[in-house]
Amino acid sequence: MEIETSKGVIFIEKLEDENLEKKVVSQKINTLLKNKLQIGEIDIQHLETGQPFIKNIPQLNISISHSSQWISVYISEDYAVGIDVEVRNEKLKIIVNQFINNREKLLFDTNNLEILHLIWGAKEAIYKYFAGEFTALENQVSIEKIDLENHKINAKTVYGECECTFEQIDFGVYLVWV
């Protein structure tokens, strides 16, 4: 599946097995990129912050996410990008206090699993967009509004305002990007 955005293109793939080792997932991402970019070899490296880049195509901005059987890669030639894919997980209700701040607790129903996934996904995508510059996502990124109808999430960060877009790409699978 592909999603064209104003910044670039998102590639999404559902893998056959959800319990793949990290090395196998990396190989799947490399294969996906080689096929989509139509080049022979991909050499993905990571900055100290964890932000990926393609060593042999350094001008591309990329963001990568993986959850269960799903992999997603966001590529842009001209813009910084951030992406997160999340598969429905009840554990978010247990760790809610680790990523939701007091303001968000007032604004949103933190018992709603879809809302929790969108908040988590937005914070992860924003973290990647800013190349891992945050040390405490709970407080340095605050979700201000979730517009379920228009698929938008507005956030305030220590660097200013940020808008994310989201889609439910399968039952219980949320994709959020900035």
Residue 148: other Cβ atoms inside 10 A: 12
Domain of 33 in residue numbering reads as 2-85
Q: How confident is the model at residue 38 (pLDDT cuts 50, 70, 90)?
A: confident
How large a percentage of the chain has pLDDT more than 90? 67
Q: Identify whether residues 158 and 135 lie together within a single domain.
A: yes
Cα-based angle 61, 59, 3 (whole degrees, multiple of 5):
40
Whether residues 79 and 107 share a domain: the answer is no
- Tell which residue, 63, 88, 81, 61, has the closest CA to residue 12: 63
Domain final residue, candidates 37, 55, 85: 85
165 and 96 belong to one structural domain: yes
Write down the pTM of the prediction: 0.91
Say if 176 falls within a structural domain.
no
Whether 134 and 157 share a structural domain: yes
Where does a domain end: 85, 116, 144?
A: 85
In this model, does residue 122 exceed pLDDT 90?
Answer: yes
Domain boundary among 57, 85, 113: 85
DSSP state of 63: E
Q: What is the mean pLDDT of residues 89-97?
A: 92
Of the candidates 67, 69, 59, 74, the residue with the CA atom closest to the CA atom of residue 2: 74
Establish if 75 belongs to a structural domain. Answer: yes
Number of domains in the chain: 2
Q: And the tokens for 123?
A: 């914070």
CA 20 to CA 25: how far, in whole Å? 6
Give yes or no: residues 71 and 103 share one domain: no
> Could you tell me the pLDDT band of residue 119, with boundaries at 50, 70 and 90?
very high
The candidate with the shortest Cα–Cα distance to 176, out of 137, 132, 127, is 127
